[in-house]
Structure 1
Amino acid sequence: MKPHILLILNFLVLIITLWSQDSVGSHNPKFTACQPKTCVNNNQTISYPFYIEGIQEPFCGYPGFGLSCNKDGFPFLNMSHSQYIIHEIFYNNHSLRVSNAAFSRLNTTTCLPRTQNLTLSGTRLALSPNQKDMFLFFGCEFEWSQLQERKIGCSAENGTGSVVALYREDQNLRSALMKCKGGVVNMTVESEKGGIQEALRRGFMMTWKVSDCNKCMNSGGKCGFDTEIYSFRCYCRHDTHARKCSSEESGKPVVILATVSAAAGFGLLVIIIIYCYRRKLLCRFWKEKSRVNQDFETFLRNYGPIAVRRYSYMEIKKMTNAFKEKLGQGGYGSVFKGKLEDGSLVAVKVLSELKGNGEEFINEVASISKTSHVNVVTLIGFCSEESKKALVYEYMANGSLEKFIYETNNLTADYQLNCEMLYQIAIGVGRGLEYLHRGCNTRIFHFDIKPHNILLDEMFCPKISDFGLAKICPRNESVVSMLVARGTIGYIAPEVFCRNIGVVSYKSDVYSFGMLVLEMVGGRKNINVEVECTSEIYFPYWIYKRIELNEELSLRNVMNESDRDNIKKMILVSLWCIQTNPSDRPTMHRVVEMLEGNVETLQVPPKPFLSSPSLSPHSSPSH
């Protein structure tokens, strides 16, 4: 018998012996730890995806689903800096009924407490479709004489004055949003029958969407979550884990059979590897997996010293407290809140899938690591260990611009951005792009400017983020080659996907910036098929027509003449930015100059909708 075959057989015998001995009779402590629990004096069963912090281990539930018990014995969730009491959990249909703890003791004589708007971005929770938004207003600058019957109690701010409840469809809602203080709460349609106080106490329904636990439970296992691989786990009675446990896991014959099968499979794999090696073949799977790491290490050697820290995966896990608090989710992976040893807050992006042989990860590190600008997010460090890739950024308290600008987000007066703030954010993003295009040692073209990638700090200062699609080129070059289109539909410049229009350059970012600012002004997506009037489906067309005819724009939050001038500047500059021909668009340096200049000096640009440039009667601004 050949030596390598004899070696394999001896190895298989050893594996079968040891594995069968270890498997039979061994007990999985995680199975025991993940038994359902309850809060004291409360009979609600808490199990996956929820877990009670301090009573159950975090691996018994899904990250972000940790509950606490209040002094009355009710479990509650912390959301939007408020406590939401859990009244019922319906595991079969993945739903639960919650209410803001501030409303738990309301009656007809108590004042209504001030509450924050509930935001669920970055979580696995969502409102059930039968929810109804209710706006609670107080401190209004006018009388509500026509709505006396809607007043529901006094204000908690000063103990006097009535609180008025309005619904989304109420004709007075727009006036109230501008002239009153208030907040948004949710309620179920059915619970309104007992009065508004009862509706607030009863709460509303939410749903969750995580890995299904039924198969695991039906097979006798306990559901949990493995933070090492960031994936669902089924904890069985013995030391096995899969999507479900064996139907007779406790029986020795089944364990031995499974062990022998696994060992035989492993032995077959060893034989295949030796066979590939002897025939000088490379298995594609390992080749592609290692190429990502090889490319990144090559990049680090060639790129020169990087002024950011390289973290180990264990350090990433520690700073995020085992990925406890999720801030967001996307196609790239997930973003978690973290804390450095000095107490500084950070946002950690954990990449779940590397695209383009890891090109996006390399782009992110390469492009941001040598930038330093108040309007560009700061990269603090990164992690690259085999398949584990992570990026560590400065923490942005207000999240992305996306959640603040669309009217459909039901923002309260406290969370809306007024015209001055929108104007300053537009200038800030413009300065950040100007820096990337001509202020760095190398030119950086972003190629994915959109509201989701503009982050806001605690002072609403904007910072450009997510450089996964960026292109880097020398300072003396302005044109880049691109094999496939990159970017997000609705913000991609026409030359990126139709090369007959022009070359791909920094002007492609100018186009995306224009579309971004138009959405900030309009408070809606530029393309909206839900509007009643067909002419309003494409917002740039609608806004251009009104500018052309000198009609009233009737945009939200315009309070004075200064607001009107700033909004008009944003519109005119945006329309210059989205010109079809790249040569007709201004540079970002000129864009910032126009935004900061006098509105009277700005000309109305040509109609920017794939029209022939030769037919345009106006000249473009100086570049």
Structure 2
Amino acid sequence: MTRPKQPLFWLLLHLLALGLALSFFPHVCTARIKGEHCGSTLCGNLNISYPFRIKSRPRSCGRKTFELVCDNNRAILSRGHGDFYVQHISYVKHTIQLVDVNLDNHSCSFPHSSLPLDYPFNGTLVQHESHHDPFYNYSEIYVVKCSRKMNQSWSGVNYIDASRCSASPPTTDFFCYFLDGKTAPSGLHPSCTVEARVPSSLHNISGASTSDIYKNLMIGVQLRWSEPNFHEDYRLKSLLQLLLLVAEAFASVAIFGNMAIRITLGILCFIALAVHKQRIRHLSMDVEIENFLQSQKNFMPIRYSYAEVKKITEGFKNKLGQGGFGTVFKGKLRSGKLVAVKLLNESKGNGQDFINEVATIGRIHHVNVVQLVGFCVEGKKQALVYDFMTNGSLDKFLFLPENSSLSWQKMFEIALGIGRGIEYLHTGCAMQILHFDIKPHNILLDENFNPKVSDFGLAKSYSTGDSIVSLTAARGTIGYMAPELFYKSIGSVSYKADVYSFGMMLMEMVGRRKNLNAFANHSSQIYFPSWIYDQFELGENIELGDMTENENRTVRKMIIVAFWCIQTKPIHRPSMSKVLKMLESEVEPLEVPPRSFVFSVDMSSNEGD
């Protein structure tokens, strides 16, 4: 056996290591030179150099997220949130000053561009005037569009006219207003929608005039940018050092032959392949999520870094609960606002559960739908930040005896609120949103017990014209899932699946117990819907605790509406709009529907329905 020459062996190893670095981590080499070979480019009087680059320049001359367009000697940063003119760049302080293009032209247009909160900006605003602390958190101003003229103090919300032109009669069918960024979107008038979340150095616009606000906004905002994250480079360096140590160990063996070289190369290739596959998987997920985020125009939620999420939750100290999609922690923003942070489990697909949740509620502002404040996505680490709901989830007030203190009137109001939230998802948005997981656990209650539909991990969006939707697999929670999700012969899947889930939940709200309870006092009460239907057929009084006559009528109405909602075939169920009309009706007595097969073991009894 011949002994290989050491120089040749080391040359092969170094070439292999270099090849691995260039093949799997090409950005390591380009990041370290920081575009120095590209020089700088002028756009008007603005000097553009690394990490920024003009779009026409080679990609290696700057970072992708800092791509600028030079239009008429004005540099423009275009993000999914809107377009901003670049007023100034400080490469020493790492700051960039931006002005919404709609503000800079001094026309009658409103600001439309939300702050580009995505990486690598760190969300701090640089103060324009001298201050003992040179950095502080920027404030935000909502720009809302309303279909009717608003009073300045509707429901305690301070509406400030956003029109900066002469007070001539409006030619459009909408009105624009400024609102303080601390205003909860759920407090908006139903005729209003949030158009943009404009950054400002004004901490409070109360008492400010329209002119004052525009003067402040036209100064622009300065953002700091962060340096690239070299954690991955460090891991690569450590990996290569480990490989070289392995090679050195082999080289120190007295007799080193062709077999040893083959083993070493085999180990190197195996490790490289494993690293490559893992990287490709996570890159695929990252690309999918980033593409989704970039496609969202005027996206409202704030993007937080994982470090910020840890700080908000004090290191995930206070756990509120855990579900199939993740763990929820209590947190507090620097403004003092309480939030609930859901740390998502590792996605089994290309980040689809994250995309589902953000896509469906990222734009929704309704008093009965939970508000998404922000999100975090850094590879495997994904989190969603919501408004904190003081009274937790509805299930605690239905299934825990110590919490069963809600009056029948309050329970009825909660049912109405949930129905309005679901109706809004079905008909109030540009897209039809089907939740597919309506249940007490996913209904949150604020300090006044106003209900909020939450947890959109299984939600799907469809065109409002689609009466029938396609699903590759059943989704939801057993006990609340519509039968057509299992039995295709019953009917097609549609928004009626949410109606069924609402009906099953309504039954539990009336009974203040699980619909299926094997430990019920009597065998006839094991399945609550069947037992309560029997009481109706026998003409028995509903015995569900002490009730006044009015409460008895209200509960009876809730039960009949629930019967209609949980009809076997979707065609026999009402829409959520019809459900609300039945619940709110004070005049006509509701007709009791026929018994559905879900109340009986004999599932063939209604084949002729």
Band the TM-score falls in, shorter-chain normalisation: 0.5 to 0.7
Q: Matches of 1:4 and 1:599 in 2, distance apart?
A: 91
SS in 1 for 2:541: coil
Q: Matches of 1:476 and 1:390 in 2, distance apart?
A: 32
Q: Matches of 1:585 and 1:277 in 2, distance apart?
A: 57
One-letter identity of the residue aligned with 1:597: S
- Residue 264 of structure 1 and its aligned partner are, at CA, apart by 4.2
One-letter identity of the residue aligned with 1:516: M
- Residue 552 of structure 1 and its aligned partner are, at CA, apart by 1.4
Per-residue CA deviation, residues 480-533 of structure 1 (Å, 9 max, x unaligned), is 111111000000000011111111110000000000010010111111111242
1:601 matches 2:589 = yes
One-letter identity of the residue aligned with 1:437: H
Pairing partner for 2:561 from 566, 573, 590:
573
- Residue 277 of structure 1 and its aligned partner are, at CA, apart by 10
Q: Which residue of 2 aligns with 1:151?
A: none
Q: Matches of 1:430 and 1:375 in 2, distance apart?
A: 9
SS in 1 for 2:350: helix
Pairing partner for 1:352 from 345, 357, 367:
345
1:396 matches 2:385 = no
Instruction: Classify 1:578/1:495 alpha carbon distance in 2 versus 1 (closer, same or farther; 3 Å).
Output: same
SS in 1 for 2:469: coil
- Residue 599 of structure 1 and its aligned partner are, at CA, apart by 6.7
Aligned pairs (5 A) from 1:160-559: 264=246, 275=269, 283-406=276-399, 409-411=400-402, 416-556=405-545, 558-559=546-547
TM-score, length-scaled by structure 2: 0.56
Q: Matches of 1:265 and 1:587 in 2, distance apart?
A: 70
Q: Which residue of 2 aligns with 1:588?
A: 576
SS in 1 for 2:531: helix
Check whether the contact 2:344–2:382 (CA below 8 A) recurs between aligned residues. Answer: yes
Q: Matches of 2:354 and 2:396 in 1, distance apart?
A: 26
SS in 2 for 1:478: coil
Q: Which residue of 2 aligns with 1:40?
A: none
Q: Matches of 2:502 and 2:488 in 1, distance apart?
A: 20
Q: Matches of 2:244 and 2:473 in 1, distance apart?
A: 43
SS in 1 for 2:504: helix
Q: Matches of 1:270 and 1:468 in 2, distance apart?
A: 46
Q: Matches of 1:404 and 1:355 in 2, distance apart?
A: 33
Per-residue CA deviation, residues 128-153 of structure 1 (Å, 9 max, x unaligned), is xxxxxxxxxxxxxxxxxxxxxxxxxx
Q: Matches of 1:282 and 1:10 in 2, distance apart?
A: 13
Aligned pairs (5 A) from 1:64-143: none
Check whether the contact 1:375–1:432 (CA below 8 A) recurs between aligned residues. Answer: yes
One-letter identity of the residue aligned with 1:275: C
Q: Matches of 1:260 and 1:301 in 2, distance apart?
A: 38
One-letter identity of the residue aligned with 2:448: M
- Residue 357 of structure 1 and its aligned partner are, at CA, apart by 2.9
One-letter identity of the residue aligned with 2:563: L
One-letter identity of the residue aligned with 1:388: K
Q: CA RMSD in A?
A: 3.0
Instruction: Classify 1:331/1:270 alpha carbon distance in 2 versus 1 (closer, same or farther; 3 Å).
Output: farther
Pairing partner for 2:14 from 7, 20, 28:
7
- Residue 391 of structure 1 and its aligned partner are, at CA, apart by 0.2
One-letter identity of the residue aligned with 2:388: Y
SS in 2 for 1:299: helix
One-letter identity of the residue aligned with 1:541: S
Per-residue CA deviation, residues 283-326 of structure 1 (Å, 9 max, x unaligned), is 54333232221111111123333111111111111111111211
- Residue 334 of structure 1 and its aligned partner are, at CA, apart by 1.3
Q: Matches of 2:279 and 2:307 in 1, distance apart?
A: 24
Q: Matches of 2:490 and 2:247 in 1, distance apart?
A: 56
SS in 2 for 1:288: helix
SS in 2 for 1:473: strand
Q: Answer with 262-271 or 436-445: which moved more.
A: 262-271
One-letter identity of the residue aligned with 2:279: W
Q: Which residue of 2 aligns with 1:561?
A: 549
Instruction: Classify 1:8/1:449 alpha carbon distance in 2 versus 1 (closer, same or farther; 3 Å).
Output: same
Instruction: Classify 1:294/1:328 alpha carbon distance in 2 versus 1 (closer, same or farther; 3 Å).
Output: same
Check whether the contact 1:568–1:599 (CA below 8 A) recurs between aligned residues. Answer: no
Q: Matches of 1:265 and 1:593 in 2, distance apart?
A: 76
Q: Matches of 1:449 and 1:490 in 2, distance apart?
A: 11
Per-residue CA deviation, residues 581-619 of structure 1 (Å, 9 max, x unaligned), is 000000000000100103742100111225665655xxx
Per-residue CA deviation, residues 364-393 of structure 1 (Å, 9 max, x unaligned), is 000001111100000010000011100000
Q: Matches of 1:324 and 1:281 in 2, distance apart?
A: 35
Check whether the contact 2:417–2:451 (CA below 8 A) recurs between aligned residues. Answer: yes
Instruction: Classify 1:266/1:599 alpha carbon distance in 2 versus 1 (closer, same or farther; 3 Å).
Output: farther
Instruction: Classify 1:308/1:260 alpha carbon distance in 2 versus 1 (closer, same or farther; 3 Å).
Output: closer
Q: Which residue of 2 aligns with 1:181?
A: none
Q: Matches of 1:487 and 1:548 in 2, distance apart?
A: 31
Q: Which residue of 1 aligns with 2:140?
A: none
- Residue 453 of structure 1 and its aligned partner are, at CA, apart by 0.1
SS in 2 for 1:500: helix
- Residue 459 of structure 1 and its aligned partner are, at CA, apart by 0.3
SS in 1 for 2:402: coil
Check whether the contact 1:405–1:416 (CA below 8 A) recurs between aligned residues. Answer: no
Q: Matches of 1:270 and 1:381 in 2, distance apart?
A: 48
Check whether the contact 2:13–2:244 (CA below 8 A) recurs between aligned residues. Answer: no
- Residue 263 of structure 1 and its aligned partner are, at CA, apart by 6.0
Instruction: Classify 1:267/1:491 alpha carbon distance in 2 versus 1 (closer, same or farther; 3 Å).
Output: farther
Structure 2 unaligned blocks of 5 or more = 1-7, 19-240, 251-262
- Residue 8 of structure 1 and its aligned partner are, at CA, apart by 8.5
Check whether the contact 1:309–1:382 (CA below 8 A) recurs between aligned residues. Answer: yes
Q: Matches of 1:615 and 1:595 in 2, distance apart?
A: 29
Check whether the contact 1:565–1:599 (CA below 8 A) recurs between aligned residues. Answer: no
Instruction: Classify 1:4/1:322 alpha carbon distance in 2 versus 1 (closer, same or farther; 3 Å).
Output: farther
SS in 1 for 2:489: coil
One-letter identity of the residue aligned with 1:370: R
Q: How many residues align?
A: 363
One-letter identity of the residue aligned with 2:358: V
Q: Matches of 2:248 and 2:318 in 1, distance apart?
A: 38
